[in-house]
Amino acid sequence: MGEKHILTVRGRYTNIRDICDFIVDGAQTSGLDEGALFHVELACDEACTNIIEHAYEGEDLGDIEVSWRVAKDQFIITFRDHGRSFDPTNVPPPAMSDLSVEAEPETLKVGGLGIHFMRTLMDDIQYTFDRQGNTLTMIKQMGDA
Amino acid sequence: MSESELTLSIETHKRVSVLTAAGRIDSTNANQLDNALKQLLEDGNANIVVELSGIEYMSSAGLRAIVAALREAKKKRGDVRIATPSERVSEVFSLAGLSALFVTYDDLTAAVGSF
């Protein structure tokens, strides 16, 4: 198992870029290509936004610990927070029918898009909750942009 | 640890307004885009071109602002059309399943002329 790299920041929107940079630097060092780096950055951005908005329900209410490591052919990212239980893997995908060109303007919705991005851009997402809080693990297969 | 860099500029023509965005759009600054689009709509500009050639990165926060503007524009019998998105931004629209919702142009003049 590869070395684990950890960063802890306060749960603020303005810290999301630092988390994304930390992860993307790790992914680049680990050999992910440009397309995969963009996918990892976007998935991390959405994961952090969800932690602030749904687990902490606001800014500056707790820390986000993020780590990355490489195991076998997988780039593994783990997020930990101490907010309320929020399982992104249990959120239904956006109702794409509501986004059709025929839809009435009032019905255009984009809720759940961030989670949809995480699911689509990463190869696997796992979630656990315990007394310490939420743990979200996102896996990107190496050599598979 | 600061807001991501985003610059917005607005050019108003007779029948259409062009909002040009450059930099990054994410959770730290999507409200700027949201507010600029809302202001245009409140001022009676329902035909809007969002020019995105200078946007290197956009998360779902940016998409939400643009879809909200589309919703309001449609209510006013207008439209929000996208001009010159980068490959990455086009991918974000596509990932969200929103490509069919927005008319997109590779050329700003064509986007403006479409209204």
Q: Does residue B1 belong to any structural domain of this protein? A: no
pLDDT at A90: 82
Q: Does residue B34 belong to any structural domain of this protein? A: yes
pLDDT band at A43 (very low <50, low <70, confident <90, very high): very high
Range of the domain at B40: 6-113
Nearest CA in chain B to A118: B95
Nearest CA in chain A to B71: A105
B11-29 pLDDT per residue, tens = 999 899 999 999 999 999 9
Please report the beta strands in B59-100, taking only residues with DSSP state E, as ranges in sequence order: 79-83
pLDDT at A84: 95
CA B115 to chain centre: 15
Structure tokens that stand for B67 in this block: 């879809």
CA A104 to chain centre: 31
B79-108 pLDDT per residue, tens = 999 999 999 999 999 998 888 889 999 999
Q: Is A60 left (phi over 0), alpha (psi -120 to 50) or beta?
A: left
Residue B59: which of A97, A100, A13, A8 has the closest Cα? A13
User: Domains in chain A, start-ordered, CATH in brackets?
Assistant: 5-141 (3.30.565.10)
Q: Is residue A103 pLDDT above 60, yes or no? A: no
Segment A40-55 mean pLDDT:
95
Segment A69-82 mean pLDDT:
96
Looking at this predicted complex, what is its ipTM?
0.87
Find the CATH number of the domain harbouring B80.
Answer: 3.30.750.24
Residue B71 neighbours by CB distance under 10 Å: 19
Q: Report the gap between the CA of A121 and the closest CA in chain B (Å).
A: 9
Number of domains in chain B: 1
Residue A10: which of A20, A19, A1, A2 has the closest Cα? A19
